[in-house]
Amino acid sequence: MIDRRNFLTTTASVALLGASPVGAQTAPRQTNWLHYANDLSSARYSPLDQINAGNFDKLELAWKFSTNSLGPRLDADYQSTPLVANGRIYVTAGFRRDVVCLDAGTGELLWMHTHDEGERIGSRGGPGLGVGYWTDGTAERILYVTRGYTMFSLDARTGIPDPNFGPGGSIDLRQNDDQQMDPNKGVIGLHAPPFVVRDTVVVGSAPTAAVKGYVRGFDVKTGRRKWIFHTIPMKGEFGYETWTTPGQAETSGNMGSWAPMSADPELGLVYVGIESPQTDLLGVSRTGPHLFAESLVALDIETGARKWHYQMVHHGIWDRDVSCAGVICDIPHNGKIVKAIAQPTKQGFVYVLDRATGKPVWPILEKKVPQGNVPGEWYSPTQPIPSAPPPFAKQGVTEADLVDWTPEIKARAREIASHYVLADLYTPPPMVDDKIFGALCMPGLQGGINWPGASYDPETHMLYLFAKNEMGVIGATIGKDGKVVQTGGYPPPGSSDSNGGSFGGVASLKGGSSFFRYRPDGMNDPIGPGVISIERIPLMKPPYGTITAIDLAKGTQAWQIVHGETPDHIKNHRLLKGVSIPRTGQAGILGTLTTRTLVICGDSGLFTDEKGRKGARLRAYDKATGEQKGAVFMDKVQTGATMTYMHNGKQYLVCAQGSSYGADLVAYSLPA
């Protein structure tokens, strides 16, 4: 018997059920999935086509692994994407972020590793996005970062920590970071997997304002630090002078790299996206354009030296972190093949750059943007706007974007909106008072796109992106101490949650609250700050979720479709009886998977179907046209990006799913 109590009090790994060594499989056809988005290019692409348009509707549940017994609380938002190597699945799971190894054909648990964090806390809870994988052809290692910011290297066969990696199989990532932080209470973490390139494992961070989010490279065999990149430059380093008020670079924090990464081993470069500095919507403590915030930075894999950077937002005050990996792609352009990287963003642009030099493939123009009225704020006069491809998400808010399904709803929407600034993409957060409650912005603070990223077909040069279309509220006010503080937050008021519900809210104009308090509001309630819904009907017109195909060979949009059904609370709304409304789709944080013929993505929200079943769907679209070709019922919503592999001659689709009843890793395949 296995003593679970031992798992909870010590670092422990147990081999179960007579598991055979990795690589012992004799399947006629095997494929692996060795990185978060399959490979170093972060393309989330597989050429498999056993599952296709003709049989997608026939998919059946192959196996399900429940995470409900892992940890003291259920996990409703299971964001991990598993890896597959030699017939085994490796994934983080559960409240405590355990690592589990499963049989790829049956979902049977082979081993599990858990680590007791003790008093140690981190900034990123939950199971994380997954693990990293390394092999030299003989030895195989699974690497992951705990909730408390410790990195382990585990033997892939047994789950036992590698004694040659750090002191006993792990390294404390709060140490050797060119700054001092509390070993237990220094709030820093990472939910992205460690990124393994050659024999280097690259680790980013998601810190608080008191901690700087440096990026480091470690020797994958020993855990020795090979290099560090200061995302906030130190005095004398390149970019330091872009922090225009003396001392602010020293006192500023955040600016971590919390999203997945990509790399080009031939060029010897790893591509790292950097987040905003502290106070996402307010920059009075960080004047200037301040590199390397909201930039894509190309670093030498072996030394960490900066080779180039491209800043996509100057002095960001809209929370436009670089939230996903750039996609490595070789695209035809002006009669030649360009080694490019396509970086999707929260703001709904794709910045396409030469990945060797950082130069734009299509012109990116510095355009004048509005200036604001916040005391002490520094405003960039221009922002870089790509000339191509076109935006894949809604950008900016006008009166035409307000919901107008009935005359009463239209009038109410305009009455609510009259208390806000209708913001362009780069309209700054305004000062809030009793008349102006803030600015309505699109995309909202979560994007656009987020950590699952895009998928890419290298044969057709088509990029596929899910977009979350939601309004956010941004602004600034005076706090109790007389200083300017930001107002706003996410999920934004009026947004739909993953179960088809919604958030309403009222913000505190006094006292400097940075986040809204949520409660549902109806048409007869007083109009107040932060309420951007009408009895749970979002203030903006749909679609709330889309999938877009962008042709990177031409820099044009090939197609765009609505993804997801209309939520029940809108479909059955008392204010919409007898009203015909378009399919709305549903907002969420999703990623697409591309195969030889299909684009695959699950729903982020539940709905009641014609059989009376409350559930969601895993959907397949023709990748050339966007036409839906099939759908599979799911009793929970997709919370982790779908991946695929071939095992013993059978193709599987696997994704993480979650609800208030817990979370599962679920595999689908065709009937035997």
Task: Decide if 583 is inside a domain.
Answer: no
Domain-located, residue 514: yes
Nearest C-alpha neighbor of 299 from the set 279, 273, 327 = 273
Structural domain total, the chain: 1
For residue 239, give the 3-state DSSP assignment.
Answer: coil
Per-residue DSSP letter, 657: E
* Rounded alpha-carbon distances, angstroms, from residue 388 to 350, 353, 358, 633: 8, 11, 16, 37
d(CA 668, CA 658): 16
* The pLDDT of residue 489: 58
Written as one string, the DSSP assignment of 189-209 is: E--SPPEEETTEEEE--EE-T
Q: Which domain holds residue 417?
A: 396-441+471-539
Percent of the chain surpassing pLDDT 70: 90
433 part of a folded domain: yes
In a domain, 521, yes or no: yes
- Tokens encoding 52: 């296709």
The helix/strand/coil state of 520 is coil
Indicate whether 530 belongs to any domain: yes
Model confidence pLDDT, tens digit, residues 212-243: 999 999 999 999 999 999 999 999 999 999 99
Nearest to 272 by CA among 221, 219, 215, 234: 215
The pLDDT of residue 525: 58
| pLDDT lower than 50: segments of the chain | 1-11, 14-28, 490-521
With respect to residue 428, please indicate whether it lies within any of the assigned structural domains: yes
HEC string for 441-487: ECCECCECCCCCCCEEECCCCEEEEEEECCCEEEEEEECCCCCEEEE
Per-residue pLDDT at 528: 85
Q: Which residue has the tokens 């029940």?
A: 568
pTM of the model: 0.93
In this predicted model, what pLDDT tens digit does every residue of 501-537 receive, in sequence order? Answer: 222 222 222 233 333 333 344 565 568 888 899 988 9
Within-domain flag for 584: no
- pLDDT value, residue 24: 40
Domain presence at residue 522: yes
Please report the pLDDT score of residue 494 as a whole number.
39
User: How far from 626 is each of 599, 620, 633, CA to CA, in Å?
Assistant: 8, 9, 20
* Nearest partner of 94 among 667, 668, 636, 662, judged by Cα: 662
